[in-house]
Chains A and B, each alone.
Chain A
Amino acid sequence: MTAAEGTIFFLPGLGFGAAAAEPIAEAIGDRLRVVGMDLPGQGQAPDAADGTVGAMVDAALTRIETESDGGPWLLVAHSMGGKVGALVAARVLSGRANVFGLAGAVLLAPSPPTPEPMDDDKRSEMLGWVENGSLSAADARTFLDQNVASPLDGTREQDALAQVQRTSPLSWRRWLDTGSREDVSDAVGVLDLPVVVLAGEDDADLGAAAQPHLLSGVYPRARFVSLPGTGHLLPYERPDEVAAEIVRLWNETVPVSPELSPEWGRLIASDRTPVETRGLLARRALADDPGHQPSALSSAQLTILRALADLLVPQPAGRRIDLAARIDADLASGSGDGWRPAGLPDDASAYRQGLDAIARVWPDSADDQKRLIRCILEGEPIGGAGGDADSDTDADLLKHWFEDLRTDLARTWVAHPATMARLGFDGFATSGAAAVPGYVNLGAGVRDPWEPAGLGHLKTEEADEAGGADDAREAGETA
């Protein structure tokens, strides 16, 4: 068995525990480690102190924090777990959890952050099942039958029934009475991460037809997949399709993004890193949307910006950041750098003009493209019919704007946590909640014990090694 590439954290729906992840785990195989979780009162887990969704989120995050290795992971959440998962993602992406590496989410007939649409009769029927304690075998079967499009096969069905009956009546009641009715949409906000939402065509309120309406505002990048002949119990009814979508989302996000080793991920997750910074790094680590629709630039302008980005800040093939898309988003948000060269219009307009001028003369071959860049850097007119850059002044302005562009590209690249690790920068892990929030060892070649191993050797290892830096330290004051 080879080491898994990453982890799937699975949040089950009402009535189910960690074991509900097993069919999916089997279908995925060894490539990804699947960690099923028992939410409070489900599976083996005791009830929570209260019935809020927040209490379930706390429990889920505690488990994720313990199980996470600092490497990449996807959140997979079914039904009730979907509401919990939205809050888990919101906390992780804002840095309010000691975990790093969230790459996306696969949601299975999820309950939305808003109050779950649920028929009153259905709610009272379900509440009735736990009036006298745990669900009876008959009620559990009714529940199962109501939630599948066609019967499950024997062992799966036995397994599912057993889980439903194991659910604590209190947690069952709490979800129906309070949790499902809670509106957590303010706390969730907009979650701009890669997401796939799967739902059955034969499901009712949380079915394929309802999901886009419930979730597209929450997950702007969500891809909605409807499964024919499927009810509500996707983890049991469609484990192969679910596994395939998980692997697909994984392939679309993790292996195409710059790699950050688990050691660095753990440092970002740790209390050394301030909460806000952890959130910023978590969001910057998310894979870019290949279908990014530019908002400040036109598609043509984005295309030429991507081509320029490849030459100005070249990245390793395969694992890349879409620097151009990130700059487009920054331009749209109006976040500038506090100044601009006199003579240039506002940043977004300057970008549009500059990119249009370059597009008019953009050559095909890489060598010619580099020649053109050198020309711009020299402040030479680049020509182009009707071009803005014909006169010397315009060439000069183009050059100034191009300096802004080059700076924006470089800064955007460096701000990514994987680039920080590549460059050997762990300064994000200062100013956090640690007892000694800064550095102790400052000399050349040495590092503090909490720093990633590649950044130097520990003071204690130093005895054997004669270093120029010791010389330097002894040189001291040279008056």
Chain B
Amino acid sequence: MKLQGMRTYDHDEIVDVVVIGTGAGGAPLLARLAQRGLRVVALEAGPNLDPEDFTNDEVEAPRINWMSERLSGGETPTAFGPNNSGFGVGGGTLHWGAFTPRPDIRDMRLHTGSDADAGADSGADWPIEHADLTRYIVKVERTIGVSGPTPYPWDAERTYLEPPVDRNAPADLMALGCSRLGIRATDAPAAILNHDREQPHHGPRRGSQNLGSIHQGERFGTKATTANTYLPAAVAAGAEIRPDSMVHGIERDALGRVTAVVYRRGGEEFRQRCAALVLAGGGIETPRLLLNTGLANSSGMVGRNFLAHGAVQVWGRFDEQIRGYRGYPSALISEDFVRPADASFVGGYLLQSLGVMPLTFATSLVRGAGLWGAELVDALDAWRYSAGIGINGECLPRENNRLVLSDERDEWGVPRAVVTFTQGPNEKAIDDHAAGTMTSILEAAGARETRVLPRTAHTLGTCRMSTDPGEGVVDGDGRSHDIPNLWISDNSTFPSSLSANPGLAQMALALRTADRMLA
């Protein structure tokens, strides 16, 4: 994005707020604080990119992902790299799928809402009112441009300002299968523009190009990122964004309040003084920084409660060429399974139709289905005839699912993160239920054969919010229980994973935290 001519601040100037990270959690907050007249600086570890810097090539696209190695353990290790992390001005929104369901009220009351039997295993409630969050969500949808169907089958109140994007073949087939089974399904809400729009402070964004390569980054501004929405607004309001700046230290005064951050840029070390600090580095980097600096962890909860959404997929093979790499990848949604009637588990899942890019599909066949040899090649040859459906499913916290520091250091001298993740019985039960549902939908649509590909997605919960300071790292506003001028605004604060994908809710939470900081 354009950073030339932006306002800049001295390292010695005590700016009002430093924000670490420019993704879904950092950017909306940065914009709001700047618009209210605060002197704010964002430090972003990754580069600043122009639209032409994005590529549709899957081998090269990880330039927008956090590629510094993370170590992954447990029985269902989390894949990082392109799968799970943003890098660069725009953070995870550069590569996100822009699928934007709103959180369901039941998911925010997971603990109280689930029956007593589930007991300690039943997750945590959000210390935030659903209606409060929804007010902010509506603002985000307006600002970034979310398309979707009105009326929305699961929420009569809701309206979308833009009509939905075009359906591709997997969406058509999922719609057919659902209709034959009496499952409600409709066009997905997506942060993809249907019409050209002039984005304030950014410029023209083009209406839908039906590109299937949006996870690799997108050149035309059709997909909303923070780099074509909130960040230009922030810069226009006087915020400074420093790319290629990796924060690795936090300084405090005698009272324990944050006074400055230390970061590395181009091999040089800098210190930026600040009156308040917001961590928005995401579900892995924020707890890594806190564990490394030993801060804000009187609860012992930093790095604990690591959550990864269930993201199992089912693929069906059809007679015609589906070629689901065309068009918006997840153009159809069903929210019928947020609380399935026959569920034996806590929580539920959302369904979305799926088209994927070839290397991504190959990776899922190898890692998810364990295929090799002729069977792998046959499955790849069948890809063009295949349509998929996937889920975003609830994940409950477990004792051993957590992030700790390794002995090994990264290129910035910071200990690497070791993330251990094993899906528990609740996650497995959700996966099984979902695999059954998706298989029947595909069969009803005429699939000749189907294949289940297990996966997980997103990194949540590692600095969760809580009312009780012993149960989490920040309060419902995002403020540290321990350090009054330290805040967190990213996916690490999610007390429970929600069946809705996290991006939209994250941007809404960021605006809300900004308001609490200004209060």
Query: How far is A469 from B385 in the complex, measured between Cα atoms in Å?
Result: 12
Contact present for B55 and A277 (CB under 8 Å): yes
Contacts of B483 on A, CB cut-off 8 Å? none
Query: How far is A428 from B358 in the complex, measured between Cα atoms in Å?
Result: 11
Pick the contact of B71 from A274, A340, A443 — CB < 8 Å?
Answer: A340
Contacts of B446 on A, CB cut-off 8 Å? 468
Query: How far is A100 from B504 in the complex, measured between Cα atoms in Å?
Result: 42
Closest Cβ of chain B to A96, distance in Å, is 13
Contacts of B186 on A, CB cut-off 8 Å? 477-479
Contacts of B219 on A, CB cut-off 8 Å? 431, 437
Contacts of B85 on A, CB cut-off 8 Å? 338
Contacts of B185 on A, CB cut-off 8 Å? 477-479
Categorize the interface residue count of chain B. Answer: 35 or more
Stretch at the interface among A39-47, A105-113, A146-154, A414-422: A414-422
Kindly state whether residue A343 has any CB partner on chain B within 8 Å.
yes
Contact present for B213 and A313 (CB under 8 Å): no
Contacts of B209 on A, CB cut-off 8 Å? 430, 436-439
Contact present for A414 and B358 (CB under 8 Å): yes
Query: How far is A469 from B318 in the complex, measured between Cα atoms in Å?
Result: 10
Contacts of A475 on B, CB cut-off 8 Å? 172, 175-176, 179
Closest Cβ of chain A to B28, distance in Å, is 26
Contacts of A413 on B, CB cut-off 8 Å? 362
Kindly state whether residue A307 has any CB partner on chain B within 8 Å.
no
Q: With A423-B384, A427-B357 given, is the CB distance from A442 to B372 under 8 Å? A: no
Kindly state whether residue B70 has any CB partner on chain A within 8 Å.
yes
Contact present for B372 and A339 (CB under 8 Å): no
Kindly state whether residue B65 has any CB partner on chain A within 8 Å.
yes
Interface centre among B57, B69, B319, B370 (most CB of A within 10 A): B57
Kindly state whether residue A217 has any CB partner on chain B within 8 Å.
no
Q: With A276-B60, A415-B359 given, is the CB distance from A339 to B213 under 8 Å? A: no
Interface centre among A343, A440, A467, A475 (most CB of B within 10 A): A475
Kindly state whether residue A456 has any CB partner on chain B within 8 Å.
yes
Kindly state whether residue A407 has any CB partner on chain B within 8 Å.
yes
Query: How far is A406 from B364 in the complex, measured between Cα atoms in Å?
Result: 11
| Interface 1/0 per residue, B13-45 and A, CB below 8 Å | 000000000000000000000000000000000
Contact present for B176 and A472 (CB under 8 Å): yes
Contact present for B372 and A341 (CB under 8 Å): no
Which of chain A's residues has its CB closest to B175's CB? A475
Pick the contact of B172 from A280, A337, A414, A444 — CB < 8 Å?
Answer: A444
Pick the contact of B213 from A341, A343, A427, A469 — CB < 8 Å?
Answer: A427
Interface centre among B79, B166, B179, B383 (most CB of A within 10 A): B179
Which of chain B's residues has its CB closest to A436's CB? B209
Closest Cβ of chain A to B136, distance in Å, is 27
Query: How far is A94 from B374 in the complex, measured between Cα atoms in Å?
Result: 34
Kindly state whether residue B6 has any CB partner on chain A within 8 Å.
no
Pick the contact of B373 from A274, A312, A431, A469 — CB < 8 Å?
Answer: A312
Stretch at the interface among B126-134, B321-329, B389-397: B321-329
| Interface 1/0 per residue, A15-52 and B, CB below 8 Å | 00000000000000000000000000000000000000
Contact present for A477 and B366 (CB under 8 Å): no
Contact present for A424 and B323 (CB under 8 Å): yes
Kindly state whether residue A311 has any CB partner on chain B within 8 Å.
yes
Which of chain B's residues has its CB closest to A280's CB? B57
Contact present for B58 and A410 (CB under 8 Å): no
Contact present for B367 and A407 (CB under 8 Å): yes
Interface centre among B149, B184, B325, B418 (most CB of A within 10 A): B325
Contacts of A370 on B, CB cut-off 8 Å? 373
Contacts of A277 on B, CB cut-off 8 Å? 55-57
Kindly state whether residue B178 has any CB partner on chain A within 8 Å.
yes
Contacts of A340 on B, CB cut-off 8 Å? 69, 71-72
Pick the contact of A477 from B81, B175, B323 — CB < 8 Å?
Answer: B175
Contact present for B220 and A437 (CB under 8 Å): yes
Closest Cβ of chain B to A284, distance in Å, is 8
Closest Cβ of chain B to A11, distance in Å, is 30
Contact present for A427 and B363 (CB under 8 Å): no
Q: With A443-B169, A444-B318, A473-B172 given, is the CB distance from A427 to B212 under 8 Å? A: yes
Contact present for B320 and A445 (CB under 8 Å): yes
Pick the contact of B56 from A274, A471, A477, A478 — CB < 8 Å?
Answer: A274
Contact present for B172 and A338 (CB under 8 Å): no
Which of chain B's residues has its CB closest to A440's CB? B210
| Interface 1/0 per residue, A296-331 and B, CB below 8 Å | 000000000000000111100000000000000000
Contacts of A406 on B, CB cut-off 8 Å? 366, 372
Which of chain A's residues has its CB closest to B73's CB? A342
Kindly state whether residue A392 has any CB partner on chain B within 8 Å.
no
Contact present for A442 and B327 (CB under 8 Å): yes
Contacts of A473 on B, CB cut-off 8 Å? 167, 172
Contacts of B445 on A, CB cut-off 8 Å? 472
Contacts of A311 on B, CB cut-off 8 Å? 372-373
Kindly state whether residue B62 has any CB partner on chain A within 8 Å.
yes
Contact present for B366 and A427 (CB under 8 Å): no
Contacts of A431 on B, CB cut-off 8 Å? 54-56, 211, 213, 218-220
Which of chain B's residues has its CB closest to A425's CB? B358
Contacts of B78 on A, CB cut-off 8 Å? 339
Contacts of B414 on A, CB cut-off 8 Å? none
Contact present for B377 and A442 (CB under 8 Å): no
Contact present for B320 and A467 (CB under 8 Å): yes
Contact present for B175 and A476 (CB under 8 Å): yes
Kindly state whether residue A363 has any CB partner on chain B within 8 Å.
no
Closest Cβ of chain B to A294, distance in Å, is 20
Residues 65-99 of B at the A interface (beta carbon under 8 Å): 65-73, 77-83, 85
Query: How far is A472 from B321 in the complex, measured between Cα atoms in Å?
Result: 14
Kindly state whether residue B380 has any CB partner on chain A within 8 Å.
yes
| Interface 1/0 per residue, B132-170 and A, CB below 8 Å | 000000000000000001000100000000000011110
Contacts of B374 on A, CB cut-off 8 Å? 314
Closest Cβ of chain B to A365, distance in Å, is 15
Q: With A277-B55, A403-B366, A420-B358 given, is the CB distance from A313 to B82 under 8 Å? A: no
Interface centre among B70, B219, B320 (most CB of A within 10 A): B320
Kindly state whether residue A117 has any CB partner on chain B within 8 Å.
no
Q: With A428-B57, A444-B320, A477-B186 given, is the CB distance from A336 to B213 under 8 Å? A: no
Kindly state whether residue A348 has any CB partner on chain B within 8 Å.
no
Query: How far is A455 from B377 in the complex, measured between Cα atoms in Å?
Result: 19
Closest Cβ of chain A to B211, distance in Å, is 4
Contact present for A336 and B67 (CB under 8 Å): yes
Contacts of A442 on B, CB cut-off 8 Å? 166-169, 210, 326-327
Contact present for A338 and B183 (CB under 8 Å): no
Query: How far is A389 from B38 in the complex, measured between Cα atoms in Å?
Result: 59
Contacts of A471 on B, CB cut-off 8 Å? 176
Kindly state whether residue B236 has any CB partner on chain A within 8 Å.
no
Closest Cβ of chain A to B205, distance in Å, is 14
Which of chain A's residues has its CB closest to B182's CB? A478
Kindly state whether residue B376 has any CB partner on chain A within 8 Å.
yes
Contact present for A423 and B69 (CB under 8 Å): no
Contacts of A436 on B, CB cut-off 8 Å? 209
Pick the contact of A339 from B59, B72, B172, B377 — CB < 8 Å?
Answer: B72
Query: How far is A479 from B152 in the complex, measured between Cα atoms in Å?
Result: 9
Q: With A338-B65, A338-B70 given, is the CB distance from A478 to B358 under 8 Å? A: no
Which of chain A's residues has its CB closest to B446's CB? A468
Contact present for B59 and A342 (CB under 8 Å): no
Contacts of B69 on A, CB cut-off 8 Å? 336, 338-340, 346
Q: List 9 A-B contacts (CB under 8 A).
A: A312-B376, A338-B82, A342-B406, A423-B380, A431-B55, A439-B211, A455-B321, A468-B176, A472-B176
The 7 closest A-B pairs by CB, nearest first: A338-B81, A438-B209, A342-B73, A424-B384, A339-B80, A472-B172, A478-B179
A274-B56, A377-B372, A430-B56 known; 10 other A-B pairs, CB under 8 Å? A311-B372, A337-B62, A338-B67, A342-B420, A407-B367, A442-B327, A444-B320, A447-B321, A468-B176, A469-B169
Write the residues of chain A forming the contact surface with B, with a CB cutoff of 8 angstroms. Answer: 274, 276-277, 280, 311-314, 336-343, 346, 370, 373, 377, 400, 403, 406-407, 410-411, 413-415, 420, 422-425, 427-428, 430-431, 436-440, 442-445, 447, 455-456, 467-469, 471-473, 475-479
